[in-house]
Amino acid sequence: MTSLHTTPVRRRRLGVEAAAAGLFATLLMAGPAAATPDPGDSAATRTDASTRQEAEATAAIRSGEIPGVDEIVHSRNITHLANVPKDALQGLNTDLAFQGKYAFAGNYDGFRIFDISNPKSPKTVAQVLCPGSQNDISVSGNLLFLSTDSSRSDNSCSSTTQPATEKSSWEGMKVFDISDKRNPKYVAAVETACGSHTHTLVPERKNVYVYVSSYSPSEAFPDCQPPHDGISIIKVPRQAPEESRVVNFPVLFPDGGNPGAPTNPGVSRTTGCHDITVLPSKDLAAGACMGDGLLFSIKDPEHPKIIDRVQDNVNFAFWHSATFNQRADKVVFTDELGGGGAATCNEEIGPKRGADGIYDIVGRGDHRKLVFRSYFKIDRPQADTEVCVAHNGSIIPVKGRDLMVQAWYQGGVSVWDFTDSSKPKEIGFFERGPVSTDQVTTAGPWSAYYYNGYIYSNDIAKGFDVLRIDDRRTDPAKRVRTDELNVQTQPDYFDR
């Protein structure tokens, strides 16, 4: 474990949006967006463009415009308390969940459990080898849930990759018993159409409902056929998880959803959802579904009901995730421009594309509407070799304010204020310099979440980070505690 210090860096802010039509078109022609590129993809051949990127990155480091390779910088109100590098699991680090004194960290090779009772010195409790793309993770009581979004030879943790064109291939949800944190036991698996890119829990006393988000069907895939215009809902009995099963596949897009190009150039065609966030205390959910943003009721968790649907066919390329504010009168949607595999935090892309979209929720009941207010994007410039994209974050629970911490891959961790929906602003940050100056590299925080007084970040390449923010605007949150946190199942921190 290492605890690192900062070096001051002169940072210019990104200016007005540049045209960059050619680069933007290149990003959008790269194919369907994914949370990260396939780890098996081969490195790109070195080109004149990569030579230019290396020269520009080197010059920016020398001028102090961006940090040096792997150099850590942060705002004065952020303290870097700890870093735990990867150990047995060497795949891409992914999402995080929390329960009591434990943090659960997903990895393409499985998951890791940390004891965070001393945030300055996290201890590894267990590492479970269970390969499968994504391994999006959440916990509820004695159960841990793990998403598999890559075609496997079977549903075991010793499976191997197998083409999705083969009927016998498997992908979906895995369930573990974590009553003994040092010895998790694999107890159930449920295959779902097109796998499970992400999932969201809707817990009840006797059961846990799991909303499974997946996308990109193909006529060539026996278990992932178009149209794939909904989500899989799994019912998991807490006392008998081996009886878990799919109980519904609600159609969310009766009209097929956003058609994408050529009708809407530069926008992903909707073929499912990427991520869903629920606010059980308000019976609400927000869906980020490729080309569409959704607001829906979950009063009946097996039969969600669409309340409103929005699109942004000018600046949003891929609706990636959603976050409610505490009062449930706003939603922040993120845009994963470039599919999580491109440098999009620079002058060429500008401040609106690849940004967060802030929407107010106006009206009452089933007549509520999502009304766009503004965009937010980090304005700290990143090298053209740094994959930078809006990714997973959570609210920071402070009464009367709307504060959020968010991961931006190599853009680092951003703390920002959207209390005024029309004038969001960053109030703190933490980031590392580029991993490389000679090739585009995927690294940086996949998830950054606030839990019981600290910010925890799962860096794709560098490991598990713990941060503390000391700021009069965020300090009241230090007194707020929760026993369990799956960020896509947002707690009501103040109505208990």
Could you report the per-residue pLDDT of 71-109, keeping only the tens digit for each?
A: 999 999 999 999 999 999 999 999 999 999 999 999 999
The letter for the amino acid at 43 is A
Distance (Å, whole) CA 278 – CA 21 = 36
pLDDT in tens, 267-277: 999 999 999 99
Q: What is the DSSP letter of 338?
A: G
Contact 145, 173 (CB under 8 A): yes
Over 50: is that where the pLDDT of 20 sits? no
When mean pLDDT is compared across 1-5, 251-255, 376-380, 385-389, the lowest value belongs to 1-5
Beta carbons of 212 and 290 less than 8 angstroms apart: no
Q: Are the C-beta atoms of 324 and 286 separated by less than 8 Å?
A: yes
Per-residue pLDDT reduced to its tens digit, 202-239: 999 999 999 999 999 999 999 999 999 999 999 999 99
The proportion of the chain whose per-residue pLDDT surpasses 90, expressed as a percent, equals 86
**Amino acid in position 307:** I
User: Mean pLDDT of all residues in the chain?
Assistant: 91
Strand order, beta sheet including 185-191: 134-140, 143-148, 172-177, 185-191
Region 380-385: mean pLDDT is 93
Q: Which fold has domain 21-485?
A: Methylamine Dehydrogenase; Chain H (2.130.10)
Check pLDDT > 70 for residue 375. Answer: yes
CB–CB of 346/384 below 8 Å? Answer: yes
Q: What digits encode the pLDDT tens for the residues 22-74? A: 333 334 333 333 443 333 333 344 456 677 778 888 888 888 888 999 999 99
